[in-house]
Amino acid sequence: MTRYSLIGALVFSLALLGCSKKPLLYTSDTVMDEFEPSYLEYDFLSARGKVMIEDQNGKITKGTLNIRAKKDSVVWFSLSPGLGIEAARGIMTTDFIKIRDRLNGNTIDMDYKTFETKYGVSLTLDLVQNLLFANIPHDYTFRDRMVRVGQVFELTQERDNLVYRSTISAKHGKVTDLQSGTRRKDGGSLSANYMDFKDIESQPFPYKAIVNMVLSLPDKPRSKMSMNAEIVKVDLSNASLNFPYNY
C-alpha R_g of the chain: 21
Q: How far apart are CA 88 and CA 147, in angstroms?
A: 40
CATH label of the domain that carries residue 99: 2.50.20.10
pLDDT of residue 222 exceeding 90: no
Q: How far apart are CA 144 and CA 28, in angstroms?
A: 9
- The kind and range of the H/E element at 88 are strand 88-93
Query: What is the model's pLDDT at position 187?
Result: 72
Report yes or no on 11 lying in a domain: no
**Contact of 66 with 77, CB cutoff 8 Å:** yes
Report yes or no on 10 lying in a domain: no
Residue 194's pLDDT band, with cuts at 50, 70 and 90, is: very high
Report yes or no on 8 lying in a domain: no
Report yes or no on 172 lying in a domain: yes
Residue 185's pLDDT band, with cuts at 50, 70 and 90, is: low
**CA dist 210 → 123, 125, 176 (Å):** 18, 19, 11
**CA dist 9 → 3, 5, 6, 13 (Å):** 10, 6, 5, 6
Which residues, including other chains, have CB under 8 Å from residue 82's CB and lie 6 or more apart? 63, 64
Structural domain containing residue 29: 23-237
DSSP, res 27: P
Report yes or no on 246 lying in a domain: no
Task: For residue range 13-44, list pLDDT tens digits in order.
Answer: 333 333 433 444 434 445 446 788 999 999 99
- Between 175 and 82, the higher pLDDT residue: 175
- Between 2 and 152, the higher pLDDT residue: 152
- Between 8 and 171, the higher pLDDT residue: 171
Report yes or no on 4 lying in a domain: no
Report yes or no on 109 lying in a domain: yes
Which CB contacts under 8 angstroms, 24+ apart, belong to 85-92?
A: 87/61, 87/63, 89/245, 89/247, 90/245, 91/243, 91/245, 92/123, 92/125, 92/128
Q: How far apart are CA 167 and CA 150, in angstroms?
A: 12
Task: For residue range 115-167, list pLDDT tens digits in order.
Answer: 888 888 888 999 999 999 999 999 988 889 999 988 999 999 998 778 999 99
Residue 221's pLDDT band, with cuts at 50, 70 and 90, is: low
Average pLDDT over residues 102-120: 87
Report yes or no on 2 lying in a domain: no
**Contact of 31 with 225, CB cutoff 8 Å:** no
Instruction: Give me the number of domains the chain comprises.
Output: 1
